[in-house]
């Protein structure tokens, strides 16, 4: 009787194919060097959020950041990769501009002494490459302040007197954007 190798060959080919598919499914060829982060603004740890920011965190890597890695007087995505998005869960006064609850792209134009901060309603865009000013909801100017050096670009919320500040920080630059959230007829103090 003649022995058939056909089933063994087929099983071997299927096994190799499965290993190949599995190895490709597990490969991460383009892991992001600049990961994304989320920062929440809450009245307390147990309360629902007032705001949420999703942004990329570029690294300083020993370079001077502003005026070098990020040029002055040009639109910046305010982070890395995809455009930074901020969601306001309640109506807010953004600087001196009233803004309805919703999700917006946060863009900036860094300057040496002050920054222009822009909220834009055109979502799901790559960085600032698709910026279109016709979708601007708010534009405010904020003076630059300085503090200790940060290696990674960071966004955090901080209570200051009767307002919340959304603080953008990288290298030694800090931008403190005032936010006034309305809670019925009172301003929220965190």
pLDDT 10s digit of each residue in the chain, 190 long?
Answer: 566 666 676 777 766 666 665 555 556 667 667 788 999 999 888 989 999 999 999 999 989 999 999 999 999 999 998 899 999 999 999 999 999 999 999 999 999 999 999 999 999 998 888 999 999 999 999 999 999 999 999 999 998 777 899 999 999 999 999 999 876 434 445 4
Contact, 149 vs 171, CB < 8 A? yes
Q: Which of 140, 55, 157 is nearest to 94 (CA)?
A: 140
Question: First vs last Cα of the chain: how many Å apart?
Answer: 86
pTM > 0.95: yes or no: no
């Amino acid at each position: 009787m003649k022995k058939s190798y056909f089933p063994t060959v087929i099983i071997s080919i299927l096994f190799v194919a499965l290993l190949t598919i599995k190895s490709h499914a597990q490969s991460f060829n383009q892991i992001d060097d600049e990961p994304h982060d989320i920062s929440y603004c809450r009245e307390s740890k147990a309360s629902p959020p007032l705001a949420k920011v999703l942004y990329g965190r570029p690294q300083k890597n020993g370079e001077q950041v502003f005026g070098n890695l990020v040029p002055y007087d040009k639109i910046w995505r305010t982070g890395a990769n995809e455009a930074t998005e901020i969601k306001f869960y309640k109506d807010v006064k953004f600087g001196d501009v009233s803004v309805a609850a919703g999700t917006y792209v946060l863009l900036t134009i860094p300057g040496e002494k002050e920054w222009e901060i822009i909220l834009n309603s055109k979502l799901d865009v790559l960085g600032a490459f698709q910026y279109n000013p016709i979708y601007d909801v708010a534009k405010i100017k904020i003076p630059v302040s300085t503090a200790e050096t940060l290696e990674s670009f960071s966004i955090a919320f901080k209570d200051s007197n009767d307002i919340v500040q959304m603080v953008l920080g990288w290298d030694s630059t800090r931008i403190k954007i005032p936010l006034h959230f309305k809670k019925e007829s009172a301003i929220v103090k965190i």
